[in-house]
Amino acid sequence: MMDSRYLLCSDLDRTLLPNGKEENDNVLPKFFEIIKKHNICLAYVSGRSLKLLKSAISEYEIELPDFFIGDVGTTIYKKVDGELVFYDKWSEKIRTETPGWNFEELREIGKEVERLELQEAENLNEFKVSFYVSVPESIDDLASLLENRIVRDRGITAKIISSIDPIRGVGLIDIVPQGATKQTAIEFVRQESGIDTSKVIFCGDSGNDLLAFLKGYKGILVKNGSDKVRKEIKEKLPEERIKETIYFAEGRDPLNGNYASGILEGMLYWGVISEEEYRNSY
């Protein structure tokens, strides 16, 4: 039997969390009230590790989610008795589907590329090899170079995911198994929870959210989202498909469309909340 609830999956930094340069409406408390009122299954989908999620929970006073998809999709945690517990079933699935995955080999391939700097140990795991790009303007070329060396030349089933951190002014590149992205992790959580695809909402802002936006869920790109992602969505999806699956938040009175305000605007558009609930969230 399918679960009739909505599954709302949101990126954290500069999507749910107001840690960008744009103005913030301070609607997070109201957002969580609405999540509880509608009994929505909440998943955070982030490049953050569990440790960095806990920092965000403390700093921004956000609620513990039902699921935490961390490390750009390579780890999943499930809320059990008020604690986030590592969901090993996901890791086992990745191992089974990617038997030849070799962290050390991929790390060395990346280290050979100029302008790539290996990230700190806390940002790496068995299925995630991550680098900083000191010159963000070159990130697309470097991602293509890595894809050629890893996927084409060696036949490794990997995804090269790139994004820009606008606050720090650096590029971010993650090498992950093809089956261990934000999008595939969301799909795994959806199936495990027994929630219909039509009930999945995905909210994001940047390059590492692109695959999830293209999946066909009810997408919400917050107003402060990356212009590059907005452009890529429009290039990769037909106009009719965009109308059916993506909402670009623009700011709708009384909210400005940034961060959680943009999520609420999208929830109104997709019919999850009423006009009255939206207006009362300010």
- pLDDT tens digit string along 27-55? 999 999 999 999 999 999 999 999 999 99
- Give pTM, 2 decimals: 0.95
Determine the pLDDT at residue 1: 64
Looking at the chain, which residues constitute the CATH 3.40.50.1000 domain(s)? 7-92+180-279
Closest CA to 131 of 95, 166, 106: 106
Strands (E), the chain: 7-10, 41-45, 67-70, 75-80, 83-86, 116-118, 129-133, 158-165, 170-177, 200-204, 218-221, 246-248
Determine the pLDDT at residue 223: 98
Q: Check: CATH 3.40.50.970 for 101-177? A: no
Determine the pLDDT at residue 4: 85
* Distance (Å, whole) CA 156 – CA 159: 9
Determine the pLDDT at residue 135: 87
Take residue 21 and report the two structure tokens written for it. Answer: 């340069």
Determine the pLDDT at residue 56: 96
Determine the pLDDT at residue 134: 87
135 residue type, one letter: V
* Residue numbers in the chain where pLDDT is lower than 50: none
Domain 7-92+180-279: which CATH class?
alpha beta
Strands (E), 123-217: 129-133, 158-165, 170-177, 200-204
Looking at the chain, which residues constitute the CATH 3.90.1070.10 domain(s)? 101-177
Q: Which residues are CB-neighbours of 48 under 8 A, at least 6 positions away?
A: 12, 13, 56, 70, 71
Determine the pLDDT at residue 166: 81
Determine the pLDDT at residue 97: 95
Helix (H, G, I), strand (E, B) or coil at 107: helix
* Distance (Å, whole) CA 252 – CA 242: 20
Closest CA to 72 of 186, 168, 216: 186
Please answer whether residues 133 and 173 qualify as being in contact, where contact means their C-beta atoms are separated by less than 8 angstroms.
Answer: yes
